[in-house]
Structure 1
Amino acid sequence: MDASIRSFLDHLRVERQSSEHTLRSYEDDLTLFERFLEETRSAGGDPSPASADARRLRRYSAWLSGRGYAASTVARRLASLRSFFRYMRRNGEVAADPAASLRNPKQPKRLPKLLRVDEVVKLLDSIPVADSLGRRDRAMFETLYGGGLRVSEVVGLDIEDLDLDEELVRVRGKGRRERMSPIGSMAVHWIRLHLATREPRSASERAIFLNRYGDRLTARSVGRLLEEHLARAGIRSEASPHTLRHSFATHLLDRGADLRSVQELLGHRNLTTTQIYTHVTQERLLDVYQEAHPRA
């Protein structure tokens, strides 16, 4: 790995205090960029990132698209490059920022995938709760949907983050921003039952949701568990844990919640991020109209 990339990752880790997930993403993106530079350099050419100019970066964008990466993935990898070259420019390692004018590929507008209210209820009620792992899963998915949390936020919850009397949890979201999120009485009920049989591997393990070995659950494991429970419930859907967050927001708006409140509940920094859900509710209203109105 080039020294400039190591320095940038150290900067993110120490000065920006980025999460391990963020660091892995940047490392993966920049390692792929290094691979491109090595594969496409001319004989005797310089493969170091500092040698790349704007034309080379445009070639990299095309190289990514040519390998079948989705437009959203290409955009994320280019965003990592922009951050990297801004850092290089501030440190005087490049005279100009070659990524400043780099454009993202056009992305198709995709509305978030959702589960209907009845599907969410069916999913949650189908989770077997006779053993401790089942009660853990019921508590975890009730919390995901009840609070509209990201899966990373749910697996990051510690015992100290709970305020069950007030039905609140302290959540550490993107950019290490903290918020207090209501999770509802059903989630609180199942969390209490789960905690009664929670068995950490060691006394120092403070995570609420543990795997069968007593260690903190990973986001990947939560996704796998959701697939199992969807299949058990007979729900044919490509839903992910994030689908429960999308469903949470849409169901609130369907029932009259204002957009600003939903923004706060989701922990979005910008209202424009939340506005995607207004398009979802409009789509659903149009579907209802087409099905029910005699003159549609």
Structure 2
Amino acid sequence: MPLDEPIILGIMAPLFQDVPEEASCFQLGDEEMSGTRRKPGAMAPYIAGLDSKLTAAGYTPGTRRGMLKIVGDVGRWLVVEQLSAADFDESRIPAFMEARATAGFTQKYYLRCFTVMIGLLREGGIVAPAPVAPVSALERVLADYRQWLVDEKDLADTTVLRYEKLARRFLQIGRPEGKLLDTATLSGVEVSAFILAESRRVSLGSARGRVAEMRSLLCYLYITERTSWDLTRCVPSVAGWRDAHLPVVLSVEQVEAMVASCDGSTSTGRRDLAILLLLARLGLRCIEVARLRLDDIDWRVGEITVRGKARRRDVMPLPVDVGQALANYLQQDRPASPCREVFITERAPRKPIRADLVGDVVRRAGRRAHCPEGRAHRLRHALATNMLAHGTPLRDISQVLRHRDLATTAIYAKVDIGSLREIAQDWPGQN
């Protein structure tokens, strides 16, 4: 259930009745409250602070009422059990829920309902910090590897997760759950056998990804002296012709239909329009849209700084329609947030959007425009092919797409069938 929807189901009584008289900061209009006001017991001193925290995080009034209802229930239970707020942590949640069920209450609680409340008590030093579980040798290596991918390689969160999954599988080969492979005795035979096994169960493209992930892990193990020699060359390459397939290309009409499908009368539609135009006009990647910060937009000069792969910073011109869409979103719809990222989640807790949300925006636009092929990276392909069709040199296209290698851009030459026919030589023996 989304966090900004009511958390407790079936609450028909006045939800505000658990808030004490002194918690006047929680006012939700001029609704009159009937019935006897029940006191929140041991949690009374923390009602106002919790409400302020929920408000700052952007939670809706319904969610705030539901959370304060839980606080009151917990406070009264603590009084019955002769406990204080300092005694309530994650270990007490099952006993609280069991007591409520035994007493005949049918309200359904979710464990995440208690997260904000316990977090507030910990911030104030009321509840002791959560005990730190012992970290295994495997988890220590994975944590260090994860940090290395972020600090040294500047990889996106989704990429780091994918690399970490392969590392976890490989480092546990032939070991019980949670035990670490002895990397000091690691050999190329084990590396090759693992990659061959992985390649048998995945597609060609995924197998190539496994090779890149494996080489990254072996590089990390070597430079951190967990292996005595560099085993990256022991990873076999995946057989397959380079650029053997044509990229799926969206037409100009399809791209414009996806852009036009955004409802400019709603906040979500204006946000989606800004995201789609960044992808379609500038060829940004999903992670680059998610990373875009307020400081990256120079409104006076009309430029935008793109935070790309490997910590690259590229300055690009800001097209008029993209700038107008961004300005509309920032002025009318962006939720108040201390974060400097441009795009903030619409649902509480307010935080910067993730790269996968950008992909979701494009897929929804594709469905609205009856374009099932609509994907975020295909908007980037569409920009390149459209530039090529208008005679733009590949080198210029490479600069717009911020490719490191011109060979990466050369793939788009294959889709220009008309130009290829002009330069193609006759087949030997053909009249």
Q: Cα offset for 1:15?
A: 5.1
The answer as to whether partners of 2:183 and 2:227 remain within 8 angstroms in 1 is no
- Superposed, 1:136-285 pairs within 5 Å as 136-202=271-337, 204-213=338-347, 214-235=350-371, 237-282=372-417
Q: Does 1:86 align with 2:222?
A: no
The answer as to whether partners of 2:250 and 2:379 remain within 8 angstroms in 1 is yes
Distance 2:139 2:341 in 1: 36
Q: Give the letter for the 2:232 counterpart.
A: A
Q: Cα offset for 1:191?
A: 1.4
Equivalent residue, structure 2, for 1:290: none
CA change 1:3–1:53 in 2 (3 A) is: farther
Distance 1:70 1:92 in 2: 33
CA change 1:192–1:110 in 2 (3 A) is: same
Equivalent residue, structure 2, for 1:60: 194
CA change 1:116–1:56 in 2 (3 A) is: same
For the residue of structure 2 that corresponds to 1:269, the secondary structure is coil
The answer as to whether partners of 1:123 and 1:233 remain within 8 angstroms in 2 is yes
Q: Cα offset for 1:52?
A: 2.9
Moved more, 111-120 or 76-85: 76-85
Q: Cα offset for 1:177?
A: 0.5
Q: Which has the higher helix share?
A: 1
The answer as to whether partners of 1:153 and 1:172 remain within 8 angstroms in 2 is yes
The answer as to whether partners of 2:279 and 2:379 remain within 8 angstroms in 1 is yes
Distance 1:30 1:283 in 2: 45
Q: Give the letter for the 1:72 counterpart.
A: G
Q: Does 1:29 align with 2:166?
A: yes
- What are the Cα deviations for residues 261-293 of structure 1, in whole angstroms up to 9, with x where unaligned? 11111111111111111112237966xxxxxxx
CA change 1:250–1:166 in 2 (3 A) is: farther
Q: Give the letter for the 1:225 counterpart.
A: V
Aligned length: 277
For the residue of structure 1 that corresponds to 2:330, the secondary structure is helix
Q: Give the letter for the 1:55 counterpart.
A: V
The answer as to whether partners of 1:114 and 1:243 remain within 8 angstroms in 2 is yes
Distance 1:246 1:158 in 2: 24
Q: Cα offset for 1:124?
A: 0.8
Equivalent residue, structure 2, for 1:97: 230
For the residue of structure 2 that corresponds to 1:100, the secondary structure is helix
Distance 1:247 1:216 in 2: 27
Aligned residues: CA RMSD: 2.5
The answer as to whether partners of 1:12 and 1:23 remain within 8 angstroms in 2 is yes
Moved more, 10-19 or 262-271: 10-19
Q: Cα offset for 1:32?
A: 2.2
The answer as to whether partners of 2:191 and 2:234 remain within 8 angstroms in 1 is no
The answer as to whether partners of 1:262 and 1:274 remain within 8 angstroms in 2 is yes
Equivalent residue, structure 1, for 2:253: 118
For the residue of structure 1 that corresponds to 2:278, the secondary structure is helix
Q: Does 1:71 align with 2:204?
A: yes
Distance 2:175 2:409 in 1: 40
So what's the TM-score if we normalise by structure 2? 0.59
Q: Cα offset for 1:21?
A: 4.1
For the residue of structure 1 that corresponds to 2:227, the secondary structure is coil
Distance 2:417 2:175 in 1: 48
Q: Give the letter for the 2:170 counterpart.
A: F
Q: List alignment gaps of at least 5 residues for structure 2.
A: 1-137, 422-431
Q: Give the letter for the 1:24 counterpart.
A: L
The answer as to whether partners of 1:250 and 1:280 remain within 8 angstroms in 2 is yes
Q: Cα offset for 1:14?
A: 4.5
Moved more, 102-111 or 243-252: 102-111
The answer as to whether partners of 2:366 and 2:373 remain within 8 angstroms in 1 is no
Q: List alignment gaps of at least 5 residues for structure 1.
A: 40-45, 287-296
Structure 1 or 2, whichever has the larger Rg, is 2
The answer as to whether partners of 2:183 and 2:226 remain within 8 angstroms in 1 is no
For the residue of structure 2 that corresponds to 1:179, the secondary structure is strand
Identity %: 27
Distance 1:16 1:229 in 2: 32
Distance 2:419 2:368 in 1: 27
- What are the Cα deviations for residues 173-194 of structure 1, in whole angstroms up to 9, with x where unaligned? 0001000123422111211211
CA change 1:251–1:37 in 2 (3 A) is: farther
Q: Give the letter for the 2:218 counterpart.
A: F
Q: Cα offset for 1:242?
A: 0.8
Distance 1:143 1:17 in 2: 22
